[in-house]
Structure 1
Amino acid sequence: MTNTSTAVTHKQKLLIIEDEGEMCLLINLLLDGREMEIEHVKTIADAVEFFQQHPPAVVLLDNRLPDGLGLDFIRFLKDKYPATKIIMISGMDAAAKDVAIENGADLFLEKPFTKSQLCQCINTLLN
């Protein structure tokens, strides 16, 4: 006789901090089918509010946001929420990679990126 577990599995939360709607849609499409709860905010202020309610396991953080730079926000996140993994995503700021890693980002993903690259980054951080 096989004993089956009825435990509820909780999906890992992923927060996208990105002000471009098309990029958010693309990321959602790339991650479709993954066992993750994906949320999205457009500003650093909204991200701070989100974190107070639901700290995510992983953050995809754009650099250029309406109310500041993602690079500057990394240190705040790492100080307040050290367990959260941060993937910095940036297109025009490829030189920002070193600063992002120095500030505490776990990984840097340069735009444009592929589904494979995105999934590999997330898998690396969650496993």
Structure 2
Amino acid sequence: MDDGLVEIGEDNSLLLVDDDAPFRLRLARAMERRGFRPIPAESVAEGLQVARDTPPAYAVVDLRLEDGNGLDVVEALREARPDCRVIVLTGYGAIATAVAAVKIGAIDYLAKPADADDVEKALRTRGEQKPPPPEHPMSADRVRWEHIQRVFELCDRNVSETARRLNMHRRTLQRILTKRSPR
């Protein structure tokens, strides 16, 4: 195709793992209209079951689910089907988790709320294409927050160790971690 997107292909199975039922259903309907065959799952356990039983060609996995971490589903999908094109969705947008997702085999990550057009474009974009530079780069506050999140993830989400490495008081770090990310 000349638009830079790959064809969906004969196997159009798309695993959608998200614990937000309205979002999952809306995305499933929208992706079905775009030629995919959605397989909804609301938990890590359901996602892992699908990955083992019938690994899909495509997957959209929420990072934080009620019963665990969506990265476990990403790993299971890559083991069961290395050619599976996986996108990670996150409402938290931390660079550290996005890097972790890509390292274990996700092809991209999107911040929520992502619409069906964004999801389809990410699933179908060729691997060698580079995304355009952001129109609105992160603010300095956001960069600081992302750095803290990255160190927190690298310290296995240990608040005390993260605070020590950042030379920050533990309570200050806890307050920062409970707040939403700055714009």
How does the TM-score come out when normalised to structure 2? 0.57
Q: Which runs of 5+ in 2 are unaligned?
A: 1-8, 127-183
Instruction: Go from structure 1 to structure 2 and tell me whether the alpha carbon gap of 1:98 and 1:25 turns closer, same or farther (over 3 Å shift).
Output: same
User: Contact 2:17–2:62 (CA<8 Å) still a contact in 1?
Assistant: yes
1:113 maps to what in 2? 114
Aligned 8 A contact 1:18 1:65 in 2: yes
Aligned to 1:60, what secondary structure does the other structure show? strand
> What letter corresponds to residue 89 of structure 2 in structure 1?
I
The structure with the larger Rg is 2
Shift of 1:88: 0.4
Work out whether 1:12 is the aligned partner of 2:12. Answer: yes
Cα-to-partner distance string for 1:4-47 (whole Å, 9 max, x where unaligned)? xxxxx945100101111011022124324222211101112112
1:39/1:101 Cα in 2 relative to 1: closer, same or farther (>3 Å)?
Answer: same
C-alpha deviation, 1:63, in angstroms? 0.8
Aligned residue for 1:31, secondary structure, equals: helix
Please list every run of at least 4 consecutive aligned residues from structure 1 whose deviation after the TM superposition is greater than 3 angstroms. Answer: none
1:123 to 2:86 alignment: no
| Sequence identity (%) | 25
Counterpart CA distance in 2 for 1:93 and 1:72 is: 18
Count of residue correspondences: 118
Structure 1 residues 76, 32: closer, same or farther in 2, change over 3 A? closer
- Name the counterpart of 1:84: 84
Q: Given the two structures, how large is their TM-score scaled by the length of structure 1?
A: 0.79
Looking at both structures, which has the greater relative contact order when contacts are Cα pairs under 8 Å and sequence separation is at least 6? 1
CA RMSD of aligned residues (A): 2.2
